[in-house]
Structures are given as structure tokens and as C-alpha cells.
Amino acid sequence: MAHRPYIVGNWKMNGSRAALAEARAIDRGAQRYKDVSVALAPPFPLLGLLREEVTTIGVGGQDCHTAAKGAHTGDVSAAMLADIGADFVIVGHSERRRDHGETDALVQAKAQAALVSGLGVIVCVGETLAERDTGQAEAVVAAQIDGSLPDDAAAHDAALLGRLSVAYEPVWAIGTGRVAAVDDVVAMHAAIGARLAARFGDAAAKMRILYGGSVNGDNAAALLAAPGVRGALVGGASLTADAFLPIVAAASSGEG
């Protein structure tokens, strides 16, 4: 497959102006790995600053509103993200589903708004530990895929699908140091790929399926080599260049 691996750092509600030095170091380091697409999603206050400071990596938001503008205090629209030069937005992260009660339908509307604004979109899905332990993981993720991805009308053409990624992030693996077993990741990515193909046809092959949940420099190589894994969404290990660049290196074919 001609896809470049996509390694995205999600800073969540972490970072400061001082932390932009880490982002600059990540940007410089990423220049050594031209066969990898690298990106960071900092908190909103840092996004415009980061955009001005980096040349190689992509920058994106961690959420967006469904509307382009209007009376929605505290929210940020996809159009605003595009306007300041963001490349993409993450929607439907499990922490937003948990903290803000986001439903699949809301996540879908956000994803569609982001596509309309010209952004890349990373739609997050993943089961809880209770759901995995009771054998429901694939069914839960399938339902999230069905409900959270842009509808067929919004994602009708292959060019748009090329801007869409799905991040499979088992909730129990996020921030816990408990990474999913590679076999389970492979099985879930295959199930997601089949679901996407059934829905979008051959063009679904343009979509990237990323793994997220406790990815670090030690486990990245095995995860990224697994069939169907086209990148990683990284939380804690994206906050410093020392932690993040080894993951980028693991995604590279190796000329370094």
C-alpha cells in the first residue's frame, strides 16, 4: 500500500507556551523521516502558535463544533480551525464521549462539518474493558463506525475518504500503560476495514486505520508492523520529542 504511516500526537489538556519547544524539536526530528506523516494536536490556545512555528508536521484540533459559527460559547468550529491553518481535527475521542456525553450522531455531525471545511478527520472508536470482557468489542466498535463516520452523502467521493482516518483506541488501553495485544489489534483493524469496505466500497482502501492506547517507543514497532495498522494516535508519549520521535522512527522504513 502506498500509504505513508500517520503518527499523530494528541496532547489532550497538556502543554504550555514552554512546551512549544518540544513541538519544535518534534518538527525538526520529523524532517529525518520523510516517509512518515507526523502531526500534533495541541490544546486550542497553542494551535495557532504551533502553526506558526512548524514546517514539517501537520497540526490539528482535538475537537470541533458541528456549526461553522454562531452562539455556542466556548466552542470552536471546524471552519475556524481551517482558517488558522490547521490540517485536521480529532473527533469522538473516548474522553470527549465520556466527559461531554458525545454520542455517535454528534460525532458524525462533527466529522461532516470538518470534511466540509476541508480538514482531515480522525474519528475515534473503541470498546471499554467490560465490553471486551463480555465479548462485545467488535459489535461495539462496528456500531460506533456505523454511527460516527460521515454518512454516504457526506463522504461520497474517494478524495474525501482519503481525508478520513479511523483511530481504534480501546478505552482500557488509553493512558493506562496497558497496550492491546497485537493479535487483537490486527483482528479489530480487519473488522473495521471490512465494515468500511461494506459501506464505502473500494474507496475505503484510501482510509487509514490507526491504533491508539499506550503506544510508546518500545511497543510501536510491533504495533505499526501489524497488518492493517497504518499509524498511531499517541497521547502521553507525544508530549516530548524524546518520547515521540522513537515512535516516528519505528514507523519509518528505516533510512533515518
Which CB, 160 or 166, lies closer to ligand PGA? 166
CB 208 within 8 A of CB 215: no
Is the CB of residue 36 less than 8 Å from the CB of residue 4? Answer: yes
Amino acid at residue number 216: N
Under the criterion CB under 6 A, does residue 235 sit at the interface with ligand PGA? yes
- Taking CB under 6 A as the rule, which mask of x and - marks residues 133-172 in contact with ligand PGA? ------------------------------------x---
Stretch that binds ligand PGA, among 69-77, 98-106, 141-149, 207-215 (CB under 6 A): 207-215
93 as an active site residue: the answer is: yes
169 is a catalytic site residue: yes
CB 16, min distance to ligand PGA, A? 18
3-state SS assignment for residue 134:
coil
User: d(Cα 98, Cα 10) in Å, to the nearest integer?
Assistant: 17
Considering only residues 46, 59, 123, 233, which one is a binding residue for ligand PGA as defined by CB under 6 A? 233
Catalytic entry in 95, 127, 131, 169: 169
Among positions 82, 89, 174, 207, the unique one binding ligand PGA when judged by CB under 6 A: 174
HSE-CB for 210 with a 13 A CA cutoff: 30
Q: List helix spans (H) across the chain.
A: 20-30, 44-53, 78-83, 94-99, 104-116, 129-133, 137-148, 158-161, 182-200, 220-224, 241-251
Counting contacts by CB under 6 A, is residue 218 touching ligand PGA? no
Neighbours of 186 (CB within 10 A): 17
Task: Check binding of 60 to ligand PGA (CB under 6 A).
Answer: no
Contacts with ligand PGA by CB under 6 A lie at 10, 169, 174-175, 212-215, 233-237
User: Mind telling me the catalytic residues?
Assistant: 93, 169
